[in-house]
Amino acid sequence: MAPRNAFKTNSSFFRMLAVGAVGAQAVQQHLNSLGHDVIELERGSLATRIWRDVKRKRVRIPDLCCTRCGVRIESRAKTNADLSMSHSPSDAERAWHYGMLDSDWIAFPTLSAEEGTWGAGGLHSRRSLWRERTLITWRVDGRINLFTVASFRGVAPKQLKPKGVSEGSEIQVKWKGRFAPEGGRVVDASSGRLDYLLASEPNRARHFRLAADERAFLAAGEHFQTNQVLAGQIAPLTTDESRCVGGCDTAKLKQMLGSRERTVRFTGCKLARFAKDATLADQVRELAEDTEEDAYVRMEARSCLCEVAADSAEDQFRATLLEDTDDQMRLEAAVALAETHTSTSFSLLREVLEDAAQPLFLRSACAWGIGCHGTQEAAEVLVQAFADVSPKIREEALVALQDLGSVGFDPLLKGLEAPSTEVAAGAAEALRRIEGAPAKEIASLAERASSTWPTWALAHLPKEAVAPHIAALQGKRPEVHYAMSVLWTFLESWIAEDWTPRSTP
């Protein structure tokens, strides 16, 4: 079989990831409001992390799962309200329903975007450079419609034309669904039509006719929200049907671990880890040690054993992380260790990060994974990574510290007065990016330190947060006070908004 084309541009791929992550986060929040406790099932579903050097294989499995009832949810975020999904008629692993059970749910959040783009180019000595920045604010519009997989399997979809090369050369399959343009109320749903009123025009009667294969899902007098499916081929779950029913106990997890479906075994391992259910350790160990088991199920089982049975990450992950011939599996091991919050998993990630002989993609992934542990110790390691010779490692550490937030303040303040210029510069930039950076402590450093980086960091904090702490600088360190005035003059000018150091590299 010829290889599948997949030529998405970085910007197109990231936009798709952003839509998916925002949609999955909205589904998580919505279901949690209905009593669920939803976690990420497929790693990366709630984030936009791109691995550029080594592509992750990613498991074809529903995005989310509830720890209380065990229901699995695939999020299909849309920028246009419809019931469509990507599908491959020739590749079973790219089918719309691959890895899903009839009892799984599919959610359709609809997103809208407020988008602003800045672009500029330059030409110098026959070298041209185009820069573009796009800032998009995503908003979830109205109702998140939920369906069972069984309901979709029961109706043959319409196949649309193949997607373009830049979208992966798959087709779209679509089911009929009538979405509400805004909130309103159903007046009548009989005689092959649905009559309704919109809240914005309560005196203007509206209706649409139903095809022979469509039916109304609301009765007269019922109210609806924007983008709620009012009629179509497949009935969405009601609010009551979407509530958590519980029941994900040891017996159910044991049943999952023994399932013949690999994605269910994967789910069982993850839920057993979150439940900290030590009674399932032996069954999980059987999966971890079964050489014929799916590699991703084994990895999730190993992660579970580290957290639940106190197994060492050295024993469970070192061979895969350092010796596997498949770089994709080495990357996956780093991602699994990022989720495995034990001291041995942290130590293993740190060892690889600090080993300059390891490939950059793996060290980069380990820097990100250390940040996922969310501790002050993680911040300390990442601050020291600013001294690494590789710009890629320094950049990864910077992003990880930004994501850590206030947990990293103490290590960053120490880094700000480090003798290493690289460490001090990285600490200053990280403090600039984190909301609520301690202005008083940074001002104190600017007053006594010989380094210019505390001054730089202080000038980039919100002026109202800094003002109460700089009065002493004017008398004790007038040169520092002057430097801050110069920086503020620039930062508050119109040229600062889109400033770049040069037109071309």
How does pLDDT run across 1-47, given as a tens digit for each residue? 344 444 455 778 888 889 999 999 999 999 999 999 999 999 889 98
Does residue 392 sit within a domain? yes
Q: What is the pLDDT of residue 130?
A: 84
Which residues touch 471 (CB under 8 Å, ≥6 apart)?
A: none
Q: Are 102 and 153 in contact (CB under 8 A)?
A: yes
- pLDDT tens-place string over residues 161-200: 765 554 456 788 999 999 999 999 999 999 899 999 999 9
pLDDT, tens only, 205-215: 999 999 999 99
Q: How many domains does the chain have?
A: 2
Give 387's pLDDT tier (boundaries 50, 70, 90).
Answer: very high
Least confident range of 93-107, 219-233, 357-371, 380-394: 93-107
User: What count of residues does the chain have?
Assistant: 505
What digits encode the pLDDT tens for the residues 330-384? Answer: 999 999 999 999 999 999 999 999 999 999 999 999 999 999 999 999 999 999 9
CA distances from 354 to 359, 382, 386 (A): 11, 10, 11
Cα dihedral across residues 375, 378, 384, 387: positive or negative = negative
Buried b (16+ CB within 10 A) or exposed e, 409-435: bebbbebbbbeeeebbbbbbbbbeebe
Q: Edge to edge, what strands does the sheet with 83-87 contain?
A: 83-87, 171-175, 158-159
- Which tokens go with 496? 């600062």
> What is the band of 118 on the pLDDT scale with cuts at 50, 70, 90?
confident
pLDDT of residue 342: 96
Average pLDDT, the chain: 91
CATH number of the CATH domain containing 379: 1.25.40
Euclidean distance between CA atoms 222 and 166, whole angstroms: 43
Query: Is 491 contained in some domain?
Result: yes
Residue 184 lies inside a defined structural domain of this protein: no
pLDDT score at 345: 98
DSSP codes joined into one string, 40-84: ESSTTTTS-----SS------S-SEEETTT--EEEE--BSS--EE
Q: Pick 88 or 443 by higher pLDDT.
A: 443
For residue 101, tell me if it sits in a domain.
yes
CA distances from 169 to 8, 10, 88, 172 (A): 10, 16, 9, 10
Q: What is the DSSP string of 120-150?
A: EEEEETTEEEEEEEEEEEEEE-S--EEEEHH
Which helix (DSSP H) or strand (DSSP E) does residue 208 occupy?
strand 201-209
Handedness of CA 178, 179, 181, 182 (dihedral sign): positive
| Confidence (pLDDT) at 310 | 96
| Residue 411 banded pLDDT, cuts 50, 70, 90 | very high
> Which residues share a beta bridge with 194?
189, 208
Question: What's the average model confidence in pLDDT over 250-264?
Answer: 96
The C-alpha atoms of residue 53 and residue 51 are separated, in whole angstroms, by 6
pLDDT given at position 351:
97
Q: Is residue 233 part of a domain?
A: no
- What is the biggest distance separating any 2 CA atoms in the chain, rounded to whole angstroms? 85
Cβ-proximal residues to 490 (8 Å cutoff; 6+ apart), any chain: 496
Whether 463 maps to a domain, the answer reads: yes
Given a contact cutoff of 8 angstroms between Cβ atoms, the answer to whether 103 and 149 are in contact is yes
pLDDT at 9 (0 to 100): 54
Domain for residue 438, yes or no?
A: yes
230 part of a folded domain: no
Smallest CA-to-CA distance from 287 within 296, 279, 278 is with 296
% pLDDT > 70, the chain = 95
What does each C-alpha distance from 440 to 42, 350, 424, 446 come to in angstroms?
42, 32, 18, 10
pLDDT, position 55: 65
DSSP 461: S
The predicted model gives 416-425 an average pLDDT of: 95
pLDDT of residue 56: 63
Direct distance between the N- and C-terminal alpha carbons of the chain, in angstroms, rounded to an integer: 43
Domain hosting residue 16, numbered range: 10-119+131-165
Contact 278, 72 (CB under 8 A): no
- Residues 296/332, Cβ–Cβ less than 8 Å: yes
Residues 6 or more apart whose CB falls under 8 angstroms from that of 149 comprise: 74, 97, 100, 101, 102, 103, 104, 105, 106
**Of all residues in the chain, what percent carry a pLDDT higher than 90?**
73
Q: Last residue of some domain: 139, 165, 191? A: 165
